[in-house]
Amino acid sequence: MKRFSARNIVIYSMLIALNVVLTRVGSIRIGGGGTEIIRIGFGGFPVIFAGIAFGPIAGGVVGAIGDIIGMIVSPMGPYMPHFTFSAALTGVIPGLIMLNCKDKACKTSFLRLLFAIGVGEITTSVILVPYFMNTLFGVPYEVSLPPRLISQAVTIPLYAYTARILLNRICSALNIC
């Protein structure tokens, strides 16, 4: 993370707002048993982008605060800090993988972005969230895992491609490369 300047706080706030809107309003939510089983949308992208562009701490802050605000604005089931932890990790893991990239060529490498986002999404969306759903609400893995695998097979390359385009366009403007 660069540092907590006023400019960066405004950027993080915009990413948090984008995360909340895309997750809670601009997503397809499928529920069952009083909880949300699967969510299809682009809500995770601002968190991942914050981690890649500004570092793992920024990604974690954007993910955690976005999850808490989203829960206040539009709850679906009871608040569980497990999911806030998972949302924070969604930004931290890609941020850690991309941490040693200092130049534009490394930071905008599609394969590196695909790897960083893939590791983060598989860890959080495919492993942790179904585990939490199973242990907290009794949702069987057979119900929550297949849609998540299909969803991530589409969103991981899409997130990597979108991140690459955005980083190519705003790298020098935000001084992040």
* Residue-wise DSSP of the chain: -----HHHHHHHHHHHHHHHIIIIISSEEEEETTEEEEEESSTTHHHHHHHHHH-HHHHHHHHHHHHHHHHHHS--S---HHHHHHHHHHHHHHHHHTTT--SHHHHT-HHHHHHHHHHHHIIIIIIIHHHHHHHHH---HHHHHHHHHHHHHHHHHHHHHHHHHHHHHHHHHHT--
- Per CATH, the architecture of 6-174 is what? Orthogonal Bundle (1.10)
Summarize pLDDT for 118-135 with one digit per residue, the tens. Answer: 999 999 999 999 999 899
Summarize pLDDT for 69-84 with one digit per residue, the tens. Answer: 999 998 877 889 999 9
Break the chain into its structural domains and give their ranges.
6-174
Q: Which amino acid is at 88?
A: A
Band (1; pLDDT cuts 50, 70, 90) = very low
Summarize pLDDT for 133-160 with one digit per residue, the tens. Answer: 899 888 889 888 888 898 899 999 999 9
Summarize pLDDT for 28-69 with one digit per residue, the tens. Answer: 777 666 556 666 788 899 999 999 999 999 999 999 999 999
For the whole model, what pTM was predicted?
0.90
